């Protein structure tokens, strides 16, 4: 019996979240915990973002997750040496006892996210336990694998979601009891989010969490490339080994809903005028002389009726919608569910990128994937390229496709808030 679409099926092995000895910064050795954290490696997008993070503190985690050197090999070796030095100097230290970690993020607009960080048993998609919803870019997986091999560490947690009952039971009950205690630390980062972390080490509490999570399946909300890296590295080592597990944050979105945002595209060396000329009646095109916020509202309205995009980079916004149905019939693969064929990301990749603009989706010299809307526009205007702004996909659409075993085009969604990097690390030799 195939149980991939039934998260509560009891005949299959469930999620296995195990405690570990977290590596954490010693607050007395750094200039403040906020100064050593970073967004995940693929979200450092501001033009000065990397340098600003490096300059914030000499021990900022970006020196491990995005090391800078002349060659990939030198970068990874530098990260490994930096990690060893920080451990020897006591900048990073392992907690005395293995545990799971309750992690809370909160902003000033009422957003509250809580979940559990642990080492999750790495599984294949065919097991129906950890569901990917996007394809991955091979060279990014190879890059992350090289870094993890060199450092022998999971440097930042993936964000996974599961659907509980929506009530404070089992894991959520323990989380909400735990946050009443003083945290291991509390800090606020420059984006306005406060972060707090607690450890769970009591054997009975750990058993309760493990028993509860074993009844669920998880959706990868953020970290497809790192999960693919975990799978690759597990396959390279004889089991049992520490590589059988990978660092994750698990969030019950029935209790703590996430925000779902779009990931935008920056097309290098394609001026907006050339991008528009290539459309030649294949889409309806309207020029918008309005601010970014108003343009995004217009995009949201258009997306309710069908595929829609904003192009930017020449000082204005251009709304693309109403694609020619015959064009979609010719270019969108017919062998997938209708929900997949009508995704904005599907039409973008199959029709606009591949058929009209002839841009390979995995060539970093031709295309970049950027989470921040304003940064995408500013980069396009500065570099003479084209920004393609997307409207986000609903979480229920993502989850339903994932349960069918259907992956979306790469970088289709951005779930958040994402866990900050640098709050807790996992060394595989501890």
pLDDT tens digits for range 356-408: 999 998 898 999 999 889 999 999 999 999 999 999 988 788 888 888 888 88
**Do 197 and 106 contact (CB within 8 A), yes or no?**
no
The closest of 318, 320, 313 to 289, measured between CA atoms, is: 318
The closest of 116, 97, 130 to 212, measured between CA atoms, is: 116
Q: Assign 45 a pLDDT band (cuts: 50, 70, 90).
A: very low
pLDDT confidence of residue 5: 38
Q: Which pTM does this prediction carry? A: 0.80
pLDDT confidence of residue 52: 63
CATH of the domain spanning 17-258+417-427, picked from 1.10.1060.10, 3.40.50.620, 3.90.1530.10, 3.10.330.10: 3.90.1530.10
pLDDT confidence of residue 409: 81
Instruction: Indicate the average pLDDT of the chain.
Output: 90
Residues 6+ apart with CB under 8 A from 41: 65, 66, 156, 421
The closest of 147, 213, 222 to 420, measured between CA atoms, is: 222
How far is the C-alpha of 109 from the C-alpha of 413, rounded, in Å?
22
Find the mean pLDDT for residues 274-278: 97
Name the residue ranges covered by the structural domains of the chain. Answer: 17-258+417-427, 264-411
Burial class (CB in 10 A: 0-12, 13-18, 19+), 50: middle
Q: Assign 14 a pLDDT band (cuts: 50, 70, 90).
A: confident
Q: Assign 53 a pLDDT band (cuts: 50, 70, 90).
A: low
How far is the C-alpha of 67 from the C-alpha of 155, rounded, in Å?
12
Task: State yes or no: pLDDT of 11 exceeds 70.
Answer: no
Find the mean pLDDT for residues 82-102: 97
Task: State yes or no: pLDDT of 56 exceeds 80.
Answer: no
pLDDT tens-digit profile of 313-334?
999 999 999 999 999 999 999 9
Question: Considering only 19-28, 263-272, 362-371, which range has the smallest mean pLDDT?
Answer: 362-371
pLDDT confidence of residue 44: 63
Find the mean pLDDT for residues 206-214: 94
Find the mean pLDDT for residues 132-153: 93
Task: State yes or no: pLDDT of 211 exceeds 60.
Answer: yes
**Do 252 and 162 contact (CB within 8 A), yes or no?**
yes
pLDDT confidence of residue 74: 96
pLDDT confidence of residue 407: 80
């Amino acid at each position: 019996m195939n149980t991939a679409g039934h998260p509560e099926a009891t005949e299959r092995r469930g999620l296995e979240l195990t405690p570990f000895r977290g590596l954490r910064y010693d607050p007395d050795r750094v200039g403040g915990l906020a100064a050593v954290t970073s967004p995940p490696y693929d979200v450092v997008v501001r033009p000065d973002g990397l340098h600003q993070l490096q300059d914030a503190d000499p021990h900022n985690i970006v020196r491990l997750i995005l090391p800078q050197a002349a060659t990939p090999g030198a970068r990874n070796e530098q990260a490994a040496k930096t990690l060893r030095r920080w451990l020897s100097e006591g900048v990073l230290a392992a907690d005395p006892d293995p545990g799971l970690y309750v992690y809370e993020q909160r902003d000033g607009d009422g957003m509250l996210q809580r979940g559990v960080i642990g080492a999750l048993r790495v599984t294949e998609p065919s097991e129906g336990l950890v569901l990917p919803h996007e394809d991955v870019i091979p060279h990014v997986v190879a890059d992350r694998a090289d870094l993890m091999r060199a450092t022998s560490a999971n440097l930042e947690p993936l964000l996974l979601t599961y659907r509980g009952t929506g009530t404070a039971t089992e894991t959520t009950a323990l989380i909400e009891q735990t946050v009443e205690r003083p945290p291991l630390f509390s800090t606020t980062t420059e984006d306005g989010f406060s972060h707090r972390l607690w450890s769970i080490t009591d054997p009975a509490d750990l058993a309760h969490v493990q028993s509860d999570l074993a009844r669920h399946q998880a959706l990868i909300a953020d970290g497809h490339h790192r999960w693919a890296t975990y799978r690759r590295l597990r396959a390279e080592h004889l089991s049992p080994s520490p590589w059988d597990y990978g660092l994750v944050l698990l969030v019950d979105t029935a209790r703590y809903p996430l925000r779902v945002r779009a990931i935008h595209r920056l097309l290098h060396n394609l001026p907006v005028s050339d991008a528009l000329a290539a459309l030649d009646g294949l889409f309806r095109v309207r020029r918008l002389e309005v601010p970014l916020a108003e343009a995004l509202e217009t995009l949201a309205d258009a997306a309710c009726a069908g595929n829609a995009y904003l192009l930017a980079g020449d000082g204005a916004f251009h709304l693309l919608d109403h694609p020619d149905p015959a064009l979609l019939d010719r270019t969108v693969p017919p062998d997938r569910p209708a929900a997949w064929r009508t995704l904005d990301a599907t039409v973008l990749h199959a029709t606009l990128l591949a058929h009209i603009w002839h841009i390979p989706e995995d060539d970093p010299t031709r295309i970049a994937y950027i989470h921040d809307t304003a940064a995408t526009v500013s980069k396009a205007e500065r570099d003479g390229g084209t920004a393609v702004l997307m409207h986000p996909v609903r979480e229920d659409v993502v989850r339903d496709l994932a349960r069918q075993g259907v992956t979306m085009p790469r970088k289709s969604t951005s779930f958040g808030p994402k866990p900050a990097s640098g709050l807790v690390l996992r060394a595989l030799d501890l």
